[in-house]
Structure 1
Amino acid sequence: MPERTVCDADVRRRVTTDLTTCFLLEAGAGTGKTRVLVDRYVTCVLDPERGTGDVRTVAAITFTEKAAGELRQRVREEFERQALAAADDPDRAEVVSRALDMLDDAPISTIHGFAGRLLREFPVEAGVDPAFEQLDQLGSDLERAQLWDEWLSELAGAGAESDPARRGLSRLLRAGVRLERLRELAIGPRGVFGERYDIEPASPWPDEPDLRGALEALEVPLSRLASFCGSACSTADDRGCVAAMELVDAGTALLERPPDDIDELAAALYALPVKDTPTAPGGAKGNWDPAQGGKDELRARYRAAAAAVSAAREAYAAFLTSVAVGVADGFSRWAAAAQLAQGRLDFTDLLGRLRDLLAGDLAARRALQGRFAYILVDEFQDTDPLQAEIVFFLCERAARAHDWREVVLQPGKLFVVGDPKQSIYRFRRADIGMYDQVKRLIADQPDGAGALEVIRQNFRTTPTIVDWVNTVFAGVFDDDREEGRQPGYQPVEAYRPRADGPRVAVLLGDEYGTAAGAAEAARRAEGQALAALLLAMHGDAHESWTVQDRDADDGAGEAWRAPRWADIAILFRSTTHLETYEQALRDAGVPYRVDGGASYFARREVDDALLCLRAVDDPSDGPAVYGALHSSLFGFSDDELFLFWAGGGRFDLFAEQPQQHAAVAEALATLRRLHERRTSAEPHELAQELLRAARASEVLAASGPAGPQAVANLQKLVDRARAFSGAGGRGLGAFLSWAAEAGDAAGEKESQVDDDGDVVHLLTIHKAKGLEYPIVILAGGALAGHGNGGEPIGDRERRRLAIRLKAELPGAPARDLEPRRYTDLREREKLMEASEARRLLYVAATRARDRLVVSCFGRLRNKDGSPAGVLLGPLADVLPAPAALDAPVEDGGVLVLPPEAPPAADDRDGAPAEVDLEASRADWARRRSVLIEAARRPAPATSPSGLEHVDEDVGRGGPGAPAGRARALALGSAVHRVMELCDLSDEASLEVMAEAAARELERPDLAAEAAELAAACWRSAPVRAAARAAASDPERVYREVPVGALTDGVVVGGAVDLLFRGDEGWVVVDYKTDRVAEPQELLARYRPQGAAYALVAEALLGTGSVREVCFVAARARQPDGSALVVTVPVDDELRAEARREIAGAAAAGRAVVPDELVADDEAVTPA
């Protein structure tokens, strides 16, 4: 085999041996940059002419602690190799030996470790305690939360009346800004406290805007608009004329009687009916006199009026957001001083304090410059801007510059390595614009002291994949190229020999659609197709999926072998919907492990453990107690818990419980014992005792391939609780609050288990950065894009923070106040995020060594043909179009695969059927409940839903329609779930809830129809009345309320869909999803059921408390799209009728099993 040469050997030689030039080295994926860093480091120490001979004078800064440890080890190995080579050179051998002896003291660390080291040398000059405590992330979070509470207490105290921050805070609260929003702005992940070293101090009391003057400026444009409508429009009912006059009338009324209060005036301005579209206010062209300018003149005058309204709104939004930033900044400055006084520094302090020391104290800068002869920085594309300032000041030729951008570098001292195509940490303050700025500064150094170099020889990936990546991403990057936002593409060249056959594959699924449930349906289909593909890959010794056998490569050529599970990695943009894919792999028997996804608190076992601890902390939280018993830790089914309750048990930790349900009683006793210890025991002790009592480790360890991960996650929960106490946290309640906030921030990683199993790796692209796998599958890339919220945006040029603020202005619903500056920055931020998504796609594609699979389930294009806002959107022009395939086909060197379903577990050769322990236990519990009830001979049990008057064969679809009945029952359950979880004030929540409900039922095909039926229910009069009741007092409204009563010797139990207290009494609402032609039919069928619900509800609320029962027929629509409602007044006659029906049902043996008590009232005619 001919000897292969490295195409960029000259560049590698120069950047590792030339110590007179500062370099910025761009190293593409797989090009061996760590090898270059090691060689440069060793040269800095051992070079005969310019080497220092002392590792303590050569600093290497890495992105993570893990990378620092690996770099130190690689440097050690190279020094050991150099020691063997220097056996005949005593002088060189002595230098190498000394380097090895001192290597543990070498400054090879993250930038935070490096900064902490330097601050301890100049603590007085930096204004820090010489023995300062360096807070980790947990300690920092707890510290900020505690300081926030202390600051609020101080503001509320006597003597703080004149504090501008107190006045600002009062002003915001008066305007309807919630304290939680201010807290998030102050101490949240992107809040003022974290950005305090990059923004100027802000005043919490700017001048109030002249809103009355702004309102008066509206008078003239309104008058001109009204005049034009009166003279130029030929018909008063023209849509544009109507819209324009609505604005005129509302604006004029406001001008005549403007509120005195500025917040009330702002609310009125926001309530004006202004249409903000290019064609506003609409209308027909033929209805407007062309001699007077026609519709163009209408639009111009309307826009002038709208602009006056927008100017007034903008003035108010700018004012209130400025007050909010000022208040948050007031806290930030106070908290920073308090934290400093306590001798504590967080990660931001380390960088900010060192930057300020170097920028402001020239003597300290000179001293620290002398400490280091060379500084090497890895992963520079993801650097914090403060880091760039620090390294430039330290590498300055002389301590003169007042601004880091004016620094003249010491020749050869600075060496930075990065790849702008892999800059994907913007959410951690990384700024690709900063990278470009540094690149220019190094290139423009005087006397040629700085240079830019590129290495492009890729040692990782097969040539076929390299060719595909170069071809595809040249277009992806160059189409989006802009300095400070997106770099140009630098191709790499493959070093490995070319292998036969395609190495890139596209798993091509359906496009699906945008209707409710479509995204989840796509994920389920994709998960099943991936599971089938993994089964086909595993153990495949044919050419189709073999991977390089590195252990067998003898240098004569690459050896290949069948892939193992551990050779395969599935990469996702985020772990938000990971459970769907996990379920598909579990069903197919594919062993897997989630590697460090940011979904720790979303894992079921962690969530269940926290739920149990909430019950321990607050036994009065009934849902938490019930949920703890129903959780995976205790594992009681709904059937068992219902029978426990029906038999006299109470979900009360302190009540005496019936002994015939000893298991449930013992679980409650366990929770009670832990509750009694909660004030004397630390949170981690309580968590450990809980897990031990529930035998969680034993049960989970035996639950399948994911069991060890679950056990490790629970152990991590104990560890985090221990760390919480160690960081100063006190009490179980405080720990649970911290855990809730950490879960919302989604920054906690899953616990890692020992990497000794042959399992498929599931991880995010961010987690995969720096790693490589023989087979890489990119999944979920054609589904919903990465959302962005209203978080603060840093304006580094102006050193200010722009925000969007939610406020509940007087007499108005909550709304976002968004000043123009935020809008402009948000548009720029969207472009930056879209560009970063392209780089994220590049990182994913370049993790593969031997095989790359791009899974495409979803839409890559919008209706207008433009690329959709999904991860794979930029590849819309290069990926195959959706097509019906019966077998794999090769298209331009890419293997296009049709999706297949995994075989049933029993059909796989030698594959043991995976036991679903949870389902098995539920089945056992159900059979056990039946036996217990038979032995006890309890009172007959029925439910209101068992009392409907309907012919069994016709109403339930007949004996020949089991599939239709199953679908109808599932659909009814989905609609009920949506109405239980949705936001009664936000109709948009229905679609999201429908997707979630359909996913719970494993029927994604029902999501769209469930959303439609739920929307009809949501719009109905009783539900709107409930929404108004909830807005005035949330305690007036309850959904899916379990109710039960002993009526004439019969246990009647069920769940009320919606129960709310109106002005004249309680109202029971029951949703129906079956087909009902007339109101009379609905009433005849369900009147007995409604009567029973009223009777049972009154057993809890008191006789006479329920005013009426409303049946909401989702399929019978009113003209406005709302559901038909039939109302049954509750009186003594109805109550008597209910008792007769219940007695008749019990006598006829028409009892139902507990898990049918809710679902059986659902649609039974096939929908």
Structure 2
Amino acid sequence: LVALSQLIETQGHDLAAFLQGLDQIEKEEWKGQRFDYLLHHLHTASQDPILARVHAACAAIARARVPLLAALAPSFLDRIQTRLRARKRALGLNDFQDMLNLLAERLADDNPSSRLLLATLRQRYRYALIDEFQDTDDVQWFIFSRIFFESRDGHVLTVIGDPKQAIYRFRGADVYTYRRARQAITQQGGGFLRLGKNFRSTQALVDACNALFAPETGFFRSGSDIDGHQAVTCGRPEFALRHTDGRPAPGVVVFDIRPDATADEIRRAHRRRMVDELQRLCFSEEGLVVFDGQKPQRINAGHIFILAFTNQECREVGADLREAGIPHAFFHQAGLFESREAADILDLLRAVVEPQDRRRRARALLTRFFALDLPDLPAFDEADASSTALELLKQWHAIAQTEDFGFLFSNIVAASGIARREVCLNSSERSLTNTLHIFEILQEEAARTHASLRELVEMLGGFINGTRRPPGQNRDLQRLESETQTVQIMTVHAAKGLEADVVFLYGGVEPGRKSSPKVFHDEDGNRVVNLGDLDERQHTLLSQQTEDEESRLLYVALTRARFRMYLPLYPQGAGARKHKGVGARLGPILDRVLADPRTASLFERVPVACPVEPPPPSPVPTPIVLSSWQPPSFSPVVPVEEYRRIASERAGFVVTSYTGVKRQHGGFMVTEGPAETGAAALDQGSLKTTDLGELERGSISGIFLHAIIEEIPLELADTEDASAWLIHPELSQLLDRLARQHDREPRQIPHAARMVHRALFSPVRLGTRLVPGLGRQKPVLRETEFLY
């Protein structure tokens, strides 16, 4: 009470300071018990009238109190959104959500322009067929509702959706919008067709899934937004899975992992058993054959998916498959610029830009391009200036000065030996694929933006730390390592809409990270974003909706297979070791169907011993040996010249620039020298006069002028003539800075100012119009029509 009283007295006038102090009191004075402790003890003594008043006052504070973040968010949110809209409008940018919001706002208005837009869209489009409708949101549904559903002119709207597959809540998808739309359509007399046939899977898999999703298993929570699962029938009875000896093979195999252990030990035992099964399927004579009405096919690596719940779990599986020599690839794996290869390229290029910087050189030598380790660095110190590593850095620095980045990056790959080491010594091409991919993106950006190497380094640093995004869609996705048949590893979210003959499910033993803020829907279906603590009712709603989301995620995972599915039966655990992840939720359901004689025959149960010892580490060559390693020489059957001819004929397109072509061929370069002023320049006295104040001709002066145009504030630069720039404090400082940056003399600044002023503010004739200077034009954002 004393601490609370002092806080009110000192910070009661400042809401933010008061809330921050209240948080601190709860943590330090009340040991995290919040107001509950205080109110409980005051309530027991509330017979005293004074304490009763204190209790009422504390209860009022507790009711009104919100976390500091929740108090600040409404104030900052409007300002941030307003500033973001203004910035995008000034730059002429729209993101995908902007396109939806702008259209929805226009359709919501009741003015002649909006009515014309609605009539135009209705005239153009008579039918709408919307797939994956369970992943819609309020804005999208409003747009289609206005155009089609509210029309009385014969427009037809058909939506296809499965609420059991609504797994993209974190992206803004709202299954509650789907439910409201479905209810509105059916109430207005719309037809409702339930799709009851499965055309993907075998009869055995369909029967097993019907058993797992049956209401008595509790797969979907009673009272959830799933109105019970209705059993489906098999639409492809000719589908079958058999052993190579012709025996029928069960559709579902359950890896029964026992006894209980830690989450790490459970996952390790599961991975070990998966590896054994994959080797049997892919490499042994005891494989499986699929019959799909066409030619029977033996299961190989290209027929197999491994689904996990997190990227970390995908990496765990990939490491074990790589150790076992099983060909695999990560499907649409994001994080190209979070990879080790991106960090190595950044360290290397920083050293190429500044090879004289000893710290940057040391970091570059520790990358995979040189394959050195800390104990090896003294051997490559400055004293050994003739070392291969330092010579390479100097060579790449010289190439970088020409800005021929295609040649620079290919030379780095070839001269460093990284391609040979990765291909010959690694069982996976992931590292080399990422390296070449990043170099390709940097080369494209250099051609698109005419950036220098230093600017490319800054750009790559922004991609890595998240302050910048590579242009285009999916540019952060890692490419497939090769086009050979490989096991595909992916998250369940990435597998949505895909299918494979054989699917392994892995992971989900531990609960996912708790998100903040907490997002859920209230009893009326309204979306709630909670920045503070939840009361009992809110906590129940969030828990139920999280459970529903996990059930839907499991449903998607269990419906990807065509012929066989491998499921883990994780031990349930108890106490502190109780496993609560998405995958662990499958355990009680499997226990129920395996215990029922009517459904047990649909599953093959395979015991898996747990824990297992981790595999011994593989021997790694010492770095100093690796750095000098070369692949064994061979005698080519085809002459080297023939290889070169084939490589030249089949080479892809080269992205370059006109300047790059000129430099590559060593011609068309304008030499630095005094500006020519016509015949007067032939006179020595005239040359002397112009040489004093005029810019020298050449590329450096051109870049200097471009820099002025890019940076000068147009609203300040719009003066009668350029002489005003030289006495304006801000403009004169800008000109001085740019002149020093581009190594131009101070006496040349007035000439540069006159040239830029003339370029920006001289009248320009555009057709029949006379524009009073490009620098005086206001930014114009034209309305653009987007068709999906």
- Alignment TM-score, normalising by the size of structure 2: 0.65
Matching residue of 1:566: 302
Q: Distance in 1 between matches of 2:405 and 2:462?
A: 12
TM superposition shift of 1:416: 1.6
Alignment of 1:527-538 (within 5 A): 527-538=271-282
Q: Which amino acid aligns with 1:847?
A: R
Q: Deviations over 1:354-407 (max 9, x none)?
A: 2233333112211220112222122212234332222222215xxxxxxxxxx2
Where does residue 658 of structure 1 map in the other structure? 384
SS in 2 for 1:898: strand
Give the Cα–Cα distance (whole angstroms) in 2 for the partners of residues 429 and 258 of structure 1: 39
| 3-state DSSP of counterpart to 2:510 | coil
Task: Determine the structure 2 residue equivalent to 1:1156.
Answer: none
Q: Does 1:419 align with 2:175?
A: no
Whole-angstrom CA distance in 2 between matches of 1:824 and 1:622: 61
Write the distance in 2 (CA, Å) between the matches of 1:292 and 1:825: 30
Preserved CA contact (<8 Å) 1:546 1:562: yes
In 2, distance between residues paired with 1:667 and 1:527?
Answer: 43
Q: Residue type matched to 1:388 in 2?
A: W
1:694 counterpart (399, 413, 416) = 416
Q: Does 1:503 align with 2:214?
A: no
Structure-2 separation of matches of 1:303 and 1:639: 67
Percent sequence identity is 24
1:331: which partner in 2?
83
Contact kept in structure 2, 1:570 and 1:776, CA below 8 Å: yes
Conserved 8 A contact 1:508-1:896 = yes
Structure 2: distance between partners of 1:795 and 1:334: 33
Structure 2 equivalent of residue 251 of structure 1? 4
Provide the C-alpha distance between the structure 1 equivalents of 2:67 and 2:498, rounded to a whole number of angstroms: 50
Q: In structure 1, what is the equivalent of residue 498 of structure 2?
A: 771
CA contact (8 A) 1:595 1:750 kept: no
Matched residue of 1:538: which SS?
helix
Asked whether 1:473 is paired with 2:473, we answer no
Aligned to 1:762: 489
Confirm or deny: 8 A CA contact 1:540 1:546 kept in the other structure: no
Structure 1 residue matching 2:320: 3-state secondary structure: helix
Aligned partners of 1:592 and 1:760 also within 8 Å? yes
One-letter amino acid of the structure 2 residue matched with residue 596 of structure 1 = H
Give, in angstroms, the shift of residue 841 of structure 1: 1.2
Q: What per-residue deviation string (whole Å, max 9, x for no partner) do you get for residues 148-206 of structure 1?
A: xxxxxxxxxxxxxxxxxxxxxxxxxxxxxxxxxxxxxxxxxxxxxxxxxxxxxxxxxxx
Q: Does 1:351 align with 2:100?
A: yes
Q: Which residue of structure 1 aligns with residue 552 of structure 2? A: 839
CA distance 1:855–1:333, shift in 2 (3 Å): same
1:439 lines up with 2:140 in the alignment: no
Residue type at the aligned position of 1:468: A
The residue aligned with 2:456 is 732
Tell me the CA shift for residue 526 of structure 1: 3.0
Matches within 5 A, 1:669-818: 669=394, 672-673=397-398, 677=401, 681=403, 690-707=412-429, 709-722=430-443, 724=445, 731-742=455-466, 749-753=476-480, 756-785=483-512, 787-790=514-517, 802=529, 804=531, 818=532
Alpha-carbon distance in structure 2 between the residues aligned to 1:474 and 1:745? 45
* CA 522–552 in structure 1, closer or farther in 2 if over 3 Å, else same: same
> Are residues 305 and 359 of structure 1, via their aligned partners in 2, closer, same or farther at CA, if it must alter by over 3 Å?
closer
| 8 Å CA contact 2:251, 2:565 repeated in 1 | yes
Ranked by relative contact order (alpha carbons within 8 Å, sequence separation 6 or more), the top structure is 2
Alpha-carbon distance, 1:435 to partner:
1.0
Q: CA deviation at 1:659?
A: 4.6
Cα offset for 1:480? 2.3
> Quick check: 1:855 aligned with 2:568?
yes
Aligned-partner Cα distance in 1 for 2:620–2:276: 24
Q: CA offsets per residue over residues 823-872 of structure 1, 9 Å max, x none?
A: 99897566544422221211111111111001345x6466399x854112
Q: Matches of 2:375 and 2:627 in 1, distance apart?
A: 6
- Per the TM alignment, residue 536 of structure 1 is displaced from its structure 2 partner at its CA by 2.1
The separation in 2 between residues aligned to 1:270 and 1:524, in whole angstroms, is 42
TM-score normalised by the chain length of structure 1:
0.45
Kindly indicate whether the alpha-carbon contact (under 8 Å) linking 1:782 and 1:860 is maintained by their aligned counterparts in 2: no
* Contact map agreement 1:569 1:775 (CA 8 A) in 2: yes
Task: Report the equivalent of 1:493.
Answer: 233
SS of residue in 2 equivalent to 1:776: strand
Q: For residues 796 and 831 of structure 1, do their structure 2 counterparts lie closer, same or farther at Cα, with a shift above 3 Å needed? A: closer
CA distance in 2, matches of 1:672, 1:435: 58
How far is the alpha carbon of 1:477 from its aligned partner?
A: 7.0
User: Could you tell me which residue of structure 2 aligns to residue 390 of structure 1?
Assistant: 143
SS at match of 1:763: strand
Output the aligned Cα RMSD. 4.8
Give deviations 1:898-931, integer Å, cap 9, x for gaps. 3379999x9xxxxxxxx98x92353725999xxx
Determine if the alignment matches structure 1 residue 876 to structure 2 residue 587: yes
- 1:347 maps to a residue whose letter is F
Residues 686 and 314 from structure 1, CA distance in 2 versus in 1: closer, same or farther, beyond 3 angstroms? farther
Residue type of the alignment partner of 1:323: S
Name the amino acid aligned to 1:721: L
- Shift in alpha-carbon separation, 1:266–1:358, aligned structure 2, 3 A: closer
Say which of 591, 605, 625 aligns to 1:924. Answer: 625
Distance between the aligned counterparts of 1:694 and 1:897, measured in 2? 49
C-alpha contact (below 8 Å) 1:630/1:636 kept by paired residues:
yes
- Residues of 1 paired with 2:525 and 2:194: CA distance? 33
**How big is the shift at 1:610?**
3.3
Query: Could you tell me which amino acid in structure 1 is paired with residue 253 of structure 2?
Result: A
Deviation at 1:766, TM superposition (A): 2.2
Mark the CA change 1:281 to 1:717 in structure 2 (over 3 Å): closer, same or farther: same
- Partner Cα distance (1:920, 1:291) in 2: 72
**Preserved CA contact (<8 Å) 1:778 1:855:** yes
Residue pair 1:596, 1:751 contacting (<8 A) in 2 also: yes
- Among 289, 311, 320, the residue aligned to 1:547: 289
One-letter amino acid of the counterpart of residue 363, structure 1: L
Distance change in 2, residues 1:505/1:282 (3 Å) = farther
Q: What SS does the aligned partner of 1:781 have? A: coil
CA–CA distance in 2 between the matches of 1:628 and 1:717?
17
- What corresponds to 1:73 in structure 2? none
CA distance in 2, matches of 1:793, 1:617: 50
Q: Distance in 1 between matches of 2:263 and 2:186?
A: 47
Residue 667 of structure 1 deviates from its aligned partner by 4.8
Cα offset, 1:455, TM superposition: 1.3
1:270-289 matched pairs, under 5 angstroms:
270-272=23-25, 273-274=29-30, 281=37
The 1:695–1:791 alpha-carbon spacing in structure 2 relative to 1, beyond 3 Å, is farther
Residues 874, 668 of structure 1: CA spacing in aligned structure 2 closer, same or farther, 3 A cutoff? same
Instruction: Assess if the C-alpha contact under 8 Å between 1:600 and 1:749 holds in 2.
Output: yes
C-alpha offsets along residues 1015-1068 of structure 1, whole Å, 9 cap, x if unaligned? xxxxxxxxxxxxxxxxxxxxxxxxxxxxxxxxxxxxxxxxxxxxxxxxxxxxxx
Give the counterpart letter for 1:711 in structure 2. L
1:578 maps to 314
Q: CA deviation at 1:436?
A: 0.9
Which residues of structure 1 form unaligned runs of 5+?
1-247, 397-406, 554-558, 650-655, 805-817, 884-889, 907-914, 929-1167
Alignment of 1:225-240 (within 5 A): none
Counterpart Cα distance in 2 of 1:505 and 1:603: 35
The number of aligned residues is 600
Secondary structure class of the residue paired with 1:877: helix
Contact 2:304 2:503 in 1 (8 A): yes
